[in-house]
A and B are shown apart, each in its own frame.
Chain A
Amino acid sequence: MAETFLFNALRAAIDEEMHRDPSVFVLGEDVGQYGGSYKVTKDLYEKYGDLRLLDTPIAENSFTGMAVGAAMTGLRPIIEGMNMGFLLLAFNQIANNAGMLRYTSGGNFKIPLVIRGPGGVGRQLGAEHSQRLEAYFQAVPGLKIVACSTPFNAKGLLKSAIRDENPVLFFEHVLLYNLKETLPEEEYLLPLDKAEVVREGNDVTILTYSRMRHHVLQAAKTLTKSGYDPEIIDLISLKPLDFETIGASIRKTHRVIIVEECMRTGGIGAELIASINDRLFDELDAPVLRLSSQDIPTPYNGVLENLTIVQPTQIIEAVEKMLTNPY
């Protein structure tokens, strides 16, 4: 495939999977005639018709519950959250039924369901449209949580998520839809539970995901010029965490910085730190450092919004500090 936008990579994944398996269908607000708010289902309505691109009323909890029911009885629904924040209204169905029902039913049912859509902080969209939700869902048993970050991984991961037999919460980032990349011509799948080593290095392990991957890469340009050699890992799977990859890196660098967009309190980073302490405490030469968003609703004002999320300069400072003042 030629240079492909991230939104088109997702579209291709859905198109290929719908073509391959007639039980795959998409439901959500404006996914059909409108083609999706971020064009991820553009023109698929014409191709697959109104039942496979089901335009729903604005009834998130109920259409999510419907998807659970359809999944229990043999279909493979893909829910598009027009903005992942709107799925807060579907929290009950996601937590109780998508997440827990397989267990509660003692294995009677499985729920092959993908819930995907844009999350994260955009450009001055206001608090409710700039949510960092991944951590809210992290505690729900039975859910897999994935965050894509490039057109390449978006496509391969989404295809795997659609084929997975479990409910997968699939986070896209509202500011990454227009990233471009040349994709392979041939079909490919990526594992849902594998972190991606984005840059190999020896000094410090930087754990990140979603849009912050790009902030870290930006910071790395400056850092490498000054002679630092960070290892950058994109977590991809926020649940379960890929401790094989994370562990291998920490055993090499003995230092960890986490860069995340979610809240500091109860965030993905908080869980990472706890797990690193559990498993790898003896490997650490320094306390794990965590750069997270501020614990506030995302403010509309641009100056405050920039202060709320981690900026590349903060990442540079954190690495410099950790590596120049070894404990």
Chain B
Amino acid sequence: MLHVCPHPLTLFPKKGEGELDSKSLPRMGEGFRVRDSKLGCTPFVNSDSQKMLLSLVNRGTIVQVEWLSVKIPVIKKTSHSCCQGHYILMVKERTLPAIDTSTLQISHELGLKLYEDMVLGRSFEDKCAEMYYRGRMFGFVHLYNGQEAVSTGVIKGMRPDDFVCSTYRDHVHALSAGVPPRQVMAELFGKATGCSKGRGGSMHLFSAEHHLLGGYAFVAEGIPVATGAAFQTRYRRDALGDPAADQVTACFFGDGASNNGQFFECLNMAVLWKLPILFVVENNKWAIGMAHERATSQPEIYRKASVFGMPGVEVDGMDVLSVWSVAQTAIARARAGEGPTLIEALTYRFRGHSLADPDELRSKSEKEEWFSRDPIRSLSTYLTDNQICQDTELKRIDQNIKTLIEDAVEFAENSPEPDPRDLYKYVFAED
């Protein structure tokens, strides 16, 4: 009874051959709302809205279906020759406001800087996967492939004395913040030369020197910490009267974290005390196996800022220039003492949740759609098409990064293990 149209993400019941049943619906999207002028909007209940959708379709009503706006399925009669006249359920990705990049002044230098940072992030992560499978690093290793435009677009527009706070998916934020690849790689190898002295590992990267407040292994727990760092800046400026205290904190976390109370509590406090902070949600659509639209009643996360009176912006997280542009505005605002901004970057992780995740729930077509929007490829095309940078310059960067990463691995390999006599070192401040 179910026929899958060769067009990507299209399902339909063949006319006159019985009804669409619940199994025909894409598995990942069991939560959706049906918007219909007569019926209004159904509340978000997985099985209820599914039943309702099915009955409408099977009665021949054509309805607009809002797949909790992350994906937008539309039910309509198809015009494809293969399935003409049948009802189809088409699933589209959420569309994003395009930023007019022609108004952005991307200098040669900036273009190279952004490109270099993104390639560094990507190559570093690819090397991590290799080293993990070779038994050089252990535990849960969460890679950042695909999301580079967010880290680069935000952090490369900040000052070295600004603060960065991350999650367990923290390698690339650390690199963008200036932690040397050698120190990050050595940490992943558990060596004494690592940025957390081999004590932390992949999910606990820290560097006071580079104002990296940390990788935080528990979802959302970094948000209050980042909020505290932003409070510190405000305190220094207004309670201690230090005019130089204008640092900004960027706090990164995922769509899954945005359903945690700590997120809402901190948005409230950040507005209350006008804290210089950017809350950057990297909405990669999934929290391990939980599709974003199944976990939240309002999938457009940026909208959640409005109830706190905070600016909330959505941005194409696969486009570094868009991210850069949005971040620049938010950073300037924070630096000027005007308070926080919530940025929702729509992005995608190109690998499983961690290297231990079988990644069985994300559909092939979804992955392919996002792979085709590789942020590094988009940037290099933009830079060369607009004659901002030469192809040869980009190639040279690729080559340099390769050498840098090989050097990091060699450094990590040859570094010493922590001294067993130091087992209790760092428990207290005096150690």
What is the interface of chain A, defined by CB distance below 8 A to chain B? 29-30, 33-34, 37, 49-51, 55, 57-59, 61-62, 85-86, 88-89, 122-129, 294-297, 299-304, 307-308
Contacts and interface: CB of A to CB of B under 8 A. Distances in A.
A118 B107 CA distance: 52
B261 interface: yes
Contact of A50 (B30, B187, B417, B427): B30
Interface centre among B27, B201, B420, B427 (most CB of A within 10 A): B201
- 9 smallest beta-carbon distances between A and B, as pairs: A34-B289, A300-B201, A57-B259, A124-B138, A301-B190, A128-B217, A301-B198, A126-B201, A57-B295
A295 B427 CA distance: 9
Contacts of A89: 218, 221
B203 A55 contact: no
Nearest to B187: A300
Contacts of A33: 27, 289-290, 294, 361
Contacts of A55: 290, 294-295
Given A34-B361, A297-B427, 19 more contacts: A29-B288, A33-B289, A34-B289, A57-B260, A58-B287, A86-B219, A124-B201, A125-B201, A126-B140, A126-B203, A126-B217, A127-B204, A299-B423, A301-B417, A303-B417, A303-B418, A303-B420, A304-B420, A304-B423
B423 A308 contact: yes
Given A128-B218, A296-B427, A303-B418, A57 B256 contact: yes
Nearest to A129: B217
Contacts of B289: 30, 33-34
Contacts of A294: 423-424
B47 interface: yes
Contact of A126 (B139, B257, B288, B424): B139
Given A34-B288, A57-B296, A126-B203, A85 B218 contact: yes
Contacts of B47: 49-51
A59 B27 CA distance: 23
Contact of B198 (A30, A37, A122, A299): A299
A122 B138 CA distance: 10
Contacts of B418: 299, 301, 303-304
Contact of A34 (B30, B221, B290, B420): B290
Contacts of A308: 423
Contact of A58 (B201, B217, B219): B219
B180 interface: no
Interface in B402-431: 417-418, 420, 423-424, 427
Contacts of B202: 126, 300
B389 interface: no
Given A58-B256, A296-B427, A123 B138 contact: yes
A304 B423 CA distance: 6
A76 B379 CA distance: 53
B222 to A, nearest CB: 12
B337 interface: no
A299 B199 contact: yes
> Is the contact region of chain A dominated by helix, strand, or loop, or is it mixed?
loop
7 contacts: A33-B289, A50-B47, A57-B295, A88-B218, A125-B140, A126-B217, A295-B427
A272 to B, nearest CB: 24
A299 B296 CA distance: 35
Contacts of B417: 301, 303
B423 A307 contact: yes
Given A33-B289, A58-B259, A59-B261, A300 B423 contact: no
B290 A29 contact: yes
A58 B260 contact: yes
B46 interface: yes
B200 A126 contact: yes
B220 interface: yes
Interface centre among A55, A58, A86, A129 (most CB of B within 10 A): A58
A227 B196 CA distance: 46
Interface in B117-168: 138-140
B204 A300 contact: yes
Contacts of A62: 261
A50 B47 CA distance: 8
Contacts of B139: 122-126, 129, 300
A34 B357 CA distance: 10
Nearest to A125: B139
A30 B290 CA distance: 6
A233 to B, nearest CB: 29
Contact of A59 (B200, B203, B217, B259): B259
A280 B196 CA distance: 46
Interface in B27-47: 27, 30, 46-47
Nearest to A62: B261
B215 to A, nearest CB: 9
Contacts of A59: 259-261
Contacts of B196: 300
B252 to A, nearest CB: 16
A306 to B, nearest CB: 9
